[in-house]
A and B are shown apart, each in its own frame.
Chain A
């Protein structure tokens, strides 16, 4: 079983601030790293899937990087907006064994207007 950890647990920023979160995971048996955004009362929304060391993905103002050798991923939000307020979950998938993802407990972001 993989242990996935996220930090910080929660974050309050002002509109326009840039911010970043960390996801750490065991690097052995790593296969894929997923980021999701989960707004209250909605379904978790897939942001990125990354597999290769050094991978960088971008979607609008949100970007993510992956370091599989040291077992971490960063999610960056540039110029935070109130609509970015959500819980951001990362999840790791193993190369072998069960297909399920192992999730961290999330970073809850609140952006104040």
Chain B
């Protein structure tokens, strides 16, 4: 695998379900990011991890819970979501979060909350 991978690519879940999104980067980067892309809205940064430490939470509701066990893996745990949480969730990685380093994006997980 090369670059940034995300699984699953598509997910349909009910509002009472618990699921997790997974992201893995094979670029040797130290920073990882979660973004949300909704229809007709710009990409919204959700969380930033730098060297496994969370350095930004962009006022994200607690029903989204990130986890970064090491610099290569990032998870987004989902529980009791709302229909308005349906979106494309993109993961990205970069050399570091404290410098203007280019971010490389994964293919995304298309989430539908029913």
The reply to whether chain A is a binding partner of chain B is no
Q: Which B positions have Cβ atoms within 8 angstroms of A?
A: none
